[in-house]
Amino acid sequence: MTASLVNSEKDGLEALPDSARRVALLLRECGHAKPVVLLPETGKTSAEAAAGLGCEVAQIAKSILFRRRKDDAPVLVIASGANRVDEKKVEAQVGEVGRADAKFVREMTGYAIGGVCPIGHATKPVTLIDADLFALDSLWAAAGHPHAVFNLSPQELAALTGAPVVDVALRDA
């Protein structure tokens, strides 16, 4: 199956789920011209999203939310879909973190797990971008809904988020 393009010129924003429509409008406000894409199947995992888009798993810019222990601040790590995140590397950047449950993710971001967009959060997170994403020309990130994604370059991701680019990948010793 291939993804279906949905944009304001073709189908109208009303064709998008509410959370994806909100992201599409935010992207438009930021000057991002590429449309939100609806996947025929869920994109909850990097492998599912890559299969639906016909791209490499590494091109999926997955959003992983942690809870910083000292102040309960949301910590968003945008990582390559091919990488596991090394929590020790994240902690070296932001302090001790713990797992975020589905309720915390929804409250802090405004999105459900599987649809967490890199931007437009209810509470602005501390954000880190996986340096490995910069080896790629094209990325796909969640657009507020488990079936919605948008295309961007690593440079656009950094510009949209204002986040530092760091090594967060778990590497074999």
Structure confidence by residue, pLDDT tens digits, 23-74: 999 999 999 999 999 988 877 789 989 999 999 999 999 999 999 999 999 9
Radius of gyration of the chain (CA): 15
Q: What is the pTM of this model?
A: 0.91
Domain segments of the chain as ranges: 4-166
pLDDT-derived band at 8, boundaries 50, 70, 90: very low
Phi-psi label, residue 56: left if phi above 0, alpha if psi -120 to 50, beta otherwise: beta
End-to-end Cα distance, the chain: 38
Beta strands in the chain (DSSP E): 4-6, 36-38, 60-68, 74-80, 97-99, 126-130, 139-142, 148-152, 165-166
> What's the rounded Cα separation, in Å, for the pair 125 and 129?
12
Structure confidence by residue, pLDDT tens digits, 70-109: 999 999 999 999 999 999 999 999 999 999 999 999 999 9
Q: Is the pLDDT of residue 168 over 90?
A: yes
Q: Per CATH, which fold does 4-166 belong to?
A: YbaK protein (3.90.960)
pLDDT-derived band at 155, boundaries 50, 70, 90: very high
Q: Are 27 and 36 in contact (CB under 8 A)?
A: yes
